[in-house]
Chain A
């Protein structure tokens, strides 16, 4: 392997520096990359990135190379979820659907997106909102009343500055 790894002009994509064929494994590439930067003692842009990374992620973590487009991912998952649970009679089938779970997995940054969906139309986002916020603003007597539950969550969103 050339020492001039970080400046390789033979490959257009960083992934190609270490993988000549097949689907790139970005996580492994990231780890390998830092190992190699350390080994070769580069004073390049990558070394600066590494220093920032080391400050931000103290140990053991892999630097997130690509910041996911959360909003695009969210809407894509919403579309999948709606299509695949349109006839799910029991809510639990819809709430445990992989796309719904992945939406929850996107974390609190999707709360305003979910509330935006609720503003457009009542829908069963209550399980996800409760999971993401640890709260349930719906009064016990309104449990199951989808319109009232929607209103309660939208008011909650306004109070919390999400809307």
Chain B
């Protein structure tokens, strides 16, 4: 079912097979959702108001995000295609290379995204969220499913 209020901000969703999969909530964001965490908002804020993995730097640079997800076993990979034995996440960035969004691949090759404090959606491709809101796909990360690690219990403080 189309959602015009979403398609106005994400015109790439128009005509695609996407779904809204959760109600809106400010409890977690796309970064947390990429890490399969729906309990807290991940943010590399300099004031330590929000959660961020302990060993990752707190800055808006893409390197901070790569370091944060390296603590979960993710590394940069070349393809966004489904690979047996791996789970993948994607990082979007604006034209300055500043991260704007993250998405996580589902088993069937589609992607799941938390849209800020709004809803979760399942979308068929990474391209469908590219545009003015989130910029373009910057990179894709993957980790072996056998290497799944629990969420970091250690905090930054």
- Interface residue ranges, A against B (CB under 8 Å): 85-95, 121-124, 126-127, 130, 136, 138, 140-141, 143-147, 149
> Given the known A-B contacts A87-B9, A89-B101, are A127 and B45 also in contact in the complex, defined by CB atoms under 8 Å?
yes
Contacts of A146 in B (CB 8 A): 26-28, 40-41
Minimum C-beta distance from A20 to chain B (A): 43
**Is A127 in contact with B49, judged by CB distance below 8 angstroms?**
yes
The one of B9, B49, B117 in contact with A143, judged by C-beta atoms closer than 8 angstroms, is B49
Further 13 A-B residue pairs, CB within 8 A, beyond A94-B117, A121-B26, A141-B157? A86-B9, A87-B115, A87-B133, A89-B102, A90-B31, A90-B101, A122-B26, A138-B49, A140-B157, A141-B155, A143-B155, A145-B39, A147-B27
**Is A136 in contact with B49, judged by CB distance below 8 angstroms?**
yes
Contacts of B10 in A (CB 8 A): 87
Minimum C-beta distance from A106 to chain B (A): 20
**Is B100 in contact with A144, judged by CB distance below 8 angstroms?**
no
Minimum C-beta distance from A132 to chain B (A): 13
**Is A87 in contact with B116, judged by CB distance below 8 angstroms?**
yes
Contacts of B27 in A (CB 8 A): 122, 146-147
CA distance A126 to B117 in the complex (A): 14
**Is A143 in contact with B50, judged by CB distance below 8 angstroms?**
yes
Contacts of A144 in B (CB 8 A): 32, 40-43, 49-52
Q: Mark B44-57, 1 if CB is under 8 A from A, else 0.
A: 01011111100000
Minimum C-beta distance from B73 to chain A (A): 20
CA distance A106 to B133 in the complex (A): 28
> Given the known A-B contacts A141-B155, A144-B50, are A90 and B118 also in contact in the complex, defined by CB atoms under 8 Å?
no
**Is B29 in contact with A123, judged by CB distance below 8 angstroms?**
no
> Given the known A-B contacts A141-B155, A145-B39, A146-B26, are A91 and B101 also in contact in the complex, defined by CB atoms under 8 Å?
no
Is B60 on the interface with A (CB-CB < 8 A)?
Answer: yes
4 tightest A-B contacts by CB? A144-B51, A140-B157, A144-B40, A89-B30
Contacts of B117 in A (CB 8 A): 85-86, 88, 94, 123-124
Which residue of chain B lies nearest to A131 when distances are taken between CB atoms in the complex? B47
CA distance A87 to B60 in the complex (A): 18
CA distance A93 to B117 in the complex (A): 12
